[in-house]
Each structure stands twice: as C-alpha cells, then as structure tokens.
Structure 1
Amino acid sequence: MPVLDRQDDVFILDIRDDEDCMHPAWIDAVHDLLDEIETRDGPRSLVTFTENDSFSSGLSLGGAVCGASGAGQEYVADVQGLLARMLTFPVVTVAALQGHTCAAGAVLSLAHDFRVMRRDRGSWWLPGSEAGLPFTAGVSALVRARLTAQVAHEVVVTARRFDGYDALAAEIVDRIADVDTMRQLAVDMARDHNHRAGPGLGEIKARMYASVVEALWPCAPGTQEALSTPGPPTTWRTRSGRCAAPHPVREQR
C-alpha cells in the first residue's frame, strides 16, 4: 500500500503499486495521504514515485483482472475522482516515472503538473485501442487537455509506446534522467514551486481545467459552484452513492 515520506518541504508519495492495479483500497489509501498533505500549512509540494518496474498500469475490483474496464460504475467514478483531485491538487505535483507507465498509470501521470521519466528503461503508452476499449469521456478530456492535439490522437488511436527520449520529444514528459538521479531531479523540480502551495493554486487549476473536472467528476456536491467560485471540490470519493460514473466503459472481452 502507498506510503508518504518527506524530504524537507517536499512530500514523496510512494504509490507502492505491488499488484500493478488501482484497486479500491489503494485509491482510498492515496486519498488519505493526499488529505494529510492538503491539510498541512506552509510551503510544500508533492512527488509521486514508485520503486516498482511499473507506475500503476491497470484497474481492479476484487477479482477483476488488472486492466479490465468493466469494474463497476462506482469504481470507475472513484478512479476518475482521484484523477480530478490530482489535476486540481493545491500544491505543485511531479510524477517520477521509474519504469513502464501505461493505461491508468499513464493517465494518472498526466494529472500531475510535471513528469520526469527514466531515460534508459521503460515506456509510456495508452493501450486501449489494442483491446478495442474506449476511454471514458473524462479520461479523453484529460488526455486532450494535457497533450498536444497530434500526440493525443496518436497515443489514443495507435497505442504507440514512447520511450523516454520519444516521450520528451512529444512533450509527454518534461525531463528525462538516469535511474539514480531521476527521483532527486523530481524532488528538485517540485521544491522550486513550494511557495505556490495553497487554496489559490487549487482554484487556478480548477478553473483552468474546469471542463475536464466536470467530465471526470460531474456530480460531486458543489462541483459547478466550485468551478466559478473559490476552491475546487472537496469530496472526491463515491461514498454513500454520492456519484456514479456517467460514462462506464465496456467489459474487456
């Protein structure tokens, strides 16, 4: 399960995705750790990292196969809630991509402000078209917002795998580094923006990506108001049936 460390004012979220899946307990644990960061005062930023060979690649609900998409509307809503929260998180976020980054993990990386990728190993890709599985409207909106139009089209339609050099050239990632320096590079990048942390930054992100947030999390209490008044939505989970994904994706065949 994920754990939270700290290097001065930079929080380091080790997602420890041992099952290579975003299962419900993992999502809850990440939210709990994000709560801890968000409620702190003072300068701070976030680096998301894992020592594993993969940066969380699939979806899972109970016995569902990792990477399968038909895990239930509430589960898909929980995944999208996490994406929306990370996209509008009130501190600067950096994803350090240690190894293979695909599917849900690749989309999660796009929800961060910046990305650092290992130059000598691993790849970044969205494999949906390989299995004929469409993305939800929310995920499609996030991909379009965070990549150039031509790159977004290529990664969605062709499922191309980008190594570190190609990902940098395509502006999918912001920096590449050797394995022994990439985590520290991510920390240094995040630390440069520690002073930006606070509700104002969350509001800036929420307004900039208002249409993406609405597509990812359309029925969270106060979402519409939050997009036009101070502060992003504060509830990103589907507890008690508060929200259900409006665009469920098909079962994997």
Structure 2
Amino acid sequence: MCTLEKRGRVFVLTLTGDGEHRLDADLISSLRSALATVRSSPSSSAKGGGGAALVTVAEGRFFSNGFDLAWANAAGSLSAARARLGSLVALFAPVVADFFSLPMPTIAAVTGHAAAAGLLLALSHDYVLMRGDRGVLYMSELNLGLTFPPYFMAVMREKITYPRALRDVALRASKIAAKEAKERGIVDRVCGGAAETAEEAMRLGEELAAKNWDGGVYASIRMSTFPEICRAVGLVEESDEQKQNKVVSKL
C-alpha cells in the first residue's frame, strides 16, 4: 500500500513495506486515492496557497517490481492469466494519467529496483533520481513473452529519448544500473544510497515548490510537452484557444 504526508510544501507519497510493491488492484487504488488528495489540496495551485511538489519514494529493496504476475498466473489457464494481467494494465493507465495531469512538479526517488510497470511509474514523474549503490531499471516484457501496452510504449518513446537506450530497454530487456541510466538520459541524478536519494528528492521538491508556479498552468504545459503519452492514457489535449484563454485569465 502507500501513505501520503505533507512536509512543508512537498507531498511525500511512500510505497510502504519491505516487499516488491507489486502493482495489484489494491495498490493501484491506493495510489489513485493519494493522488486525488494531492490534486484537491489548496496548495496545488499558486493562487490557492503557494507552490507545491510531489515526491514518490519506496521502502525496502524495490521501488516497484511491476504488476502482480503471481496473482495473474494463479488464474490457472493462460487465457485467464492474460485477462487478469489485462485488467491491471487497464487499471494502471489512469495512474499514469493522474501523474501527467497533476498540477505540480513530481519527482521519483528510485530507491530500489524499478521493473516493468514499476519503471513506468518512475518515468511518469517529471524528474527521476536513482540510488547509485544498488538497483536496476528493467523492462521485463521481452523475457516474459509479453508485448507492451500502447501507453507503455508512448511513455518510453517520450521519456527515453536516446534511440539506442530505448532499443536496449525495449528490445534487449537490459538491466540498467544508475550510472548508465544517467549517461543515457533515463534518470536525472544519481545519489548515494536510499536515504541520500530520498533527501535529494526532497531538496529538489522544495526548490521547485518555491517557484510558486500556478499548478493548472504547469499541468497544461506538461501535457502539451508529452502529447503522445496524454493521448495514449485518455487525457484530452487542450485546444490552442483553451490554452490562450488560460493565459489571458492570468493577466
């Protein structure tokens, strides 16, 4: 499950416990509930009470090891297992949409392994910080004989912008450690251990929150920056007229 707290201007979303933080229906629901609470906070817009930011961190060895494949495979037949996995794929898409439409900067503190949907969760943030002493980024679908859902590919194409890096993540199922991930532009910063990664994420969150940016404007610009992702997860892209009206209303 996850918890949500606010430290000054920074919301801290924590995946709790020492497990793998597998994304099952309960954890997905918990994430959406937490993000809804963040979105409804007065501090999610500059006019409502000052700037804000969100940091996501995880306890234990894993940031997230992806969907709950054990639950899916427990269905028995291959078709039933694929149906269960498909249900998780459908449930998780709105989480990605929530992050891309959240009215504040977001930072993932990758304090452990991030695999498959767990890596997608990290990439759904504006900034990704990763511990340097252990942990890998890994898309396991090729090794598992699974295709990527369209919104997975949309996120990877727009967030892993070096062609060879995208090739190795998607078509080699490479396990990428922090230093290499930084060199390939997948993560923004490499920190020491888990504690240092979380602390650096908090410092970045505080720095960004202090900008006092209007949350609605921030979210609108983010969605315009990543149009393929937004279309893939069902976010309605604003028209040029809507954007212009929003700018005029701030004058």
Shorter-chain TM-score bucket reads 0.7 to 0.9
* 1:80-106 Cα deviation digits (max 9, x unpaired): 111122123211000001111111110
- The 5 Å alignment of 1:1-253 reads 1-16=1-16, 18=19, 20-41=21-42, 42-60=50-68, 63-65=71-73, 70-71=83-84, 73-148=86-161, 149-179=163-193, 180-194=195-209, 195-217=212-234, 223-224=235-236, 226-228=237-239, 229=242
Higher Cα radius of gyration:
2
* Counterpart Cα distance in 1 of 2:85 and 2:72: 10
* 1:38-80 Cα deviation digits (max 9, x unpaired): 11123110000011211111213893249x7642544322211
1:59 alignment partner, SS class: coil
* Counterpart Cα distance in 2 of 1:227 and 1:121: 41
TM-score using structure 2 length: 0.82
Q: 1:19 and 1:196, CA in 2 relative to 1: closer, same or farther beyond 3 A?
A: same
State the identity as a percent.
Answer: 26
* Counterpart Cα distance in 1 of 2:160 and 2:216: 25
More helix by share: 2
Q: 1:152 and 1:28, CA in 2 relative to 1: closer, same or farther beyond 3 A?
A: same
What is the CA RMSD across the aligned residues, in angstroms? Answer: 2.1
* 1:99-118 Cα deviation digits (max 9, x unpaired): 11111110111110001111
* Counterpart Cα distance in 1 of 2:164 and 2:82: 25
Structure 2 residue ranges without an equivalent (≥5) = 43-49, 75-80, 244-251
Would you say the 8 A contact 1:46–1:94 is kept in 2? yes
TM-score using structure 1 length: 0.81
Q: What's the offset of the Cα at 1:227? A: 3.2
Structure 1 residue ranges without an equivalent (≥5) = 218-222, 231-253
> Which range moves more in the overlay, 158-167 or 205-214?
205-214
* 1:164-195 Cα deviation digits (max 9, x unpaired): 11111111110111123111100111111112
Aligned residues: 223
Return the letter of the residue paired with 2:178. Answer: G
